[in-house]
Amino acid sequence: MLWGDQDPVLKAPAGCFVTLHALRNHGLRGCVGRIEATQPLVEALRSASKQVLRDPRFADDPVRLEELPLLEIEVSVLSAPRPAATPLDFEPLQHGIHLTIGSRSGCFLPQVAQETGWTREQLLDRLCTEKMGLAPSAWRNPQAHLSVFSVLIVGPEPFDPSAIGPNWKT
């Protein structure tokens, strides 16, 4: 039996993200997860924890074993997404957003607004360009659909490399 497998909260389906930041400057070193609650939280956490070390945005500079003590880890547990009436129907400091336009989609956790101070419009503009590869104003398209979710944030905590054991590999 693995840790958490019998805890009812960890057995319940939930979406989650695992984020790594550099301690010295809070620079992002990885953020990976799933919005959909398709598996128990404990499994989603295991998966995201492994995948965050291979965040494709950092393929040229992946997290290294010797870097772990210089990182902090944060876990975001997501509520079930709910449709927003309009793309502007969200509270930037409280809601995560998931925008879908045709076959493209992207999301920002509420921490993005908390850290940047961006307005609703700025968040949507940046989501379109940075995550979806679209024009900044694409969210104004009538076919754009926004879902919102709340987040329970655990951490950030300094990463404890001793917790992973001697056989850790990226």
Q: What is the pTM of this model?
A: 0.82
The per-residue pLDDT for range 17-67, each reduced to its tens digit, is 999 999 999 899 999 999 988 889 999 999 998 899 888 889 999 998 888
Find the CATH number of the domain harbouring 29.
3.30.700.20
Please, are residues 14 and 77 in contact by the beta-carbon 8 Å criterion? yes
Mark whether 50 and 17 lie in a shared domain.
yes
Are residues 131 and 97 in contact, defined by beta-carbon separation less than 8 angstroms? no
Q: Are residues 144 and 155 in the same domain?
A: no
The answer on 42 and 4 residing in a single domain is: yes
- Range(s) of the domain holding residue 95: 82-149
Q: Per residue in 111-158, pLDDT tens? A: 999 999 999 999 999 999 999 999 999 999 999 999 999 999 988 777
Indicate if 75 and 47 belong to the same structural domain. Answer: yes
Residues 2, 7: Cα–Cα separation, whole Å: 11
**What is the count of structural domains for the chain?**
2
- Would you call 129 helix, strand, or coil by DSSP? helix
Instruction: Check whether residue 141 and residue 167 sit in a common domain.
Output: no
Residues 22 and 49 in one domain: yes
